[in-house]
């Protein structure tokens, strides 16, 4: 029967697995990492807090999609907390941690990643279902959105706690990984492949959405005399989707690949030399999300600016502000007067009166 080491400190596992904790990171390299990490975490806290506050404050955002957007901001805010905890428990401090504290450190990171990823997947699937069924309104009610949000966090917390619940190598040192000395290599393989598969699903979903919207836009444009801005919307949509996918690929794929290589016990891949830089790269995803999902939304950006400047605009200027985000495709009318919802990234829906006003302008 294998002996278990629940009462050992992390230096025991680092030594047993021959894991290099890179003691020279106590010098300038560690200072650079901590400075960048602190700056990014502060930006994550401020920007995502503004997104959540904007959704609460602006009644135009009281729609299911924006509730999911606020939950994504909450997940990124939680990621900032996880990174702060990591910064105070990394480097030489890693060897002094207890097993439970090390599990907490990694569990926070895993939970934040899962929450963000599942939230993005829910948004993608919801938009896909609504558009493919040509629904004017989203099928999601407030109760369903609440259930989805609770489910997202339940899944995230469970995935973050899986190693603590037993999928670890505390009783089998030979199965320990190099990057995570008390995680089983089999778990790292499972974790990395699962996230890469979810990412692939998101890519397929957004590609299908874009192809469908582009096809419908081309069909409708031959029967309607839509405005120039509406005809340019597919180009804007393509740029937004490519930004979303590109940001996720650049920020998370390198780290997931490194975890996969470690799980496969690749001893010649030099993963110890790049792990901290890839972790900072993953942190950038939580920095970019509020920019991609909020800054490109004119109404969201206006609301955030008003909160930052602590000044209120007069009603006439508020009426002149864009009611439709730049990344949203308004429904175009065909010859029979039917509507097709082409909103992909956002949940805002253009009304008949809006189309009529635009047509007369």
- Over residues 261-296, the pLDDT tens digits come to 888 887 777 777 777 778 778 888 888 877 876 666
Asked if the structure places residue 212 within a domain, the reply is yes
Asked if the structure places residue 351 within a domain, the reply is no
The residue range of the domain holding 141 is 8-220+231-307
- What distance in Å separates the CA atoms of residue 282 and residue 94, rounded to the nearest whole number? 20
Asked if the structure places residue 24 within a domain, the reply is yes
Quick one: how far is CA 348 from the chain centroid?
A: 20
Indicate the number of domains in the chain. 1
> What is the full per-residue pLDDT of the chain (361 aa) written as tens digits?
567 878 888 888 888 766 655 554 566 767 777 787 788 889 999 988 988 998 888 888 887 878 888 998 899 899 999 989 988 887 778 888 899 999 999 999 999 989 988 888 888 887 777 777 665 456 678 888 999 999 999 999 999 999 999 899 888 888 888 888 889 999 999 999 999 898 888 888 878 877 877 777 777 666 655 554 444 544 454 565 567 667 877 888 888 888 888 888 877 777 777 777 787 788 888 888 778 766 667 777 888 888 888 644 444 444 444 444 444 433 333 333 333 333 333 333 333 344 344 444 3
Asked if the structure places residue 194 within a domain, the reply is yes
Global confidence as pTM = 0.77
- What distance in Å separates the CA atoms of residue 156 and residue 148, rounded to the nearest whole number? 12
Predicted pLDDT at 103: 93
Asked if the structure places residue 323 within a domain, the reply is no
Which CATH number does the domain housing residue 171 bear? 1.20.1070.10
Asked if the structure places residue 321 within a domain, the reply is no
Asked if the structure places residue 215 within a domain, the reply is yes
C-beta separation of 206 from 244 below 8 A: yes
- What distance in Å separates the CA atoms of residue 101 and residue 10, rounded to the nearest whole number? 10
Asked if the structure places residue 124 within a domain, the reply is yes
């Amino acid at each position: 029967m294998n002996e278990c080491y629940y009462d050992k400190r992390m230096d025991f596992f680092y030594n047993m697995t021959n894991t290099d904790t890179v003691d020279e990171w106590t010098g300038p390299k560690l200072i650079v990492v901590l400075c960048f990490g602190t700056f990014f975490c502060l930006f994550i806290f401020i920007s995502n807090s503004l997104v959540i506050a904007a959704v609460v404050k602006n009644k135009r955002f009281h729609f299911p999609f924006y509730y999911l957007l606020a939950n994504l901001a909450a997940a990124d805010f939680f990621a900032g907390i996880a990174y702060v905890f990591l910064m105070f428990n990394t480097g030489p401090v890693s060897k002094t941690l207890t097993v439970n504290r090390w599990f907490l450190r990694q569990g926070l990171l895993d939970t934040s990643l899962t929450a963000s990823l599942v939230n993005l997947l829910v948004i993608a699937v919801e938009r896909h279902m609504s558009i493919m069924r040509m629904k004017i309104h989203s099928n999601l009610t407030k109760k369903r959105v609440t259930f989805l949000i609770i489910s997202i966090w339940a899944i995230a917390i469970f995935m973050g706690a899986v190693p603590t619940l037993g999928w670890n190598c505390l009783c089998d040192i030979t199965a320990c990984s190099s990057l995570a000395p008390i995680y089983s290599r089999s778990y790292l393989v499972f974790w990395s492949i699962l996230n890469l598969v979810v990412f692939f699903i998101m890519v397929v979903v957004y590609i299908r959405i874009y192809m469908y919207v582009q096809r419908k836009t081309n069909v409708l444009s031959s029967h309607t005399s839509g405005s120039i801005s509406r005809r340019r919307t597919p180009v804007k949509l393509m740029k937004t989707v490519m930004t979303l996918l590109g940001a996720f690929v650049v920020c998370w794929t390198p780290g997931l690949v490194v975890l996969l290589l470690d799980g496969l016990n690749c001893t010649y891949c030099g993963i110890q030399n790049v792990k901290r830089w890839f972790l900072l790269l993953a942190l950038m995803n939580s920095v970019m999300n509020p920019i991609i999902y909020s800054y490109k939304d004119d109404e969201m950006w206006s609301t955030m600016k008003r909160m930052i400047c602590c000044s209120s605009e007069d009603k006439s200027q508020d009426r002149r502000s864009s009611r439709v985000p730049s990344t949203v495709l308004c429904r175009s009318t065909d010859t029979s007067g039917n509507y097709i919802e082409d909103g992909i990234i956002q949940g805002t829906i253009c009304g008949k009166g809006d189309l009529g006003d635009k047509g007369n302008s």
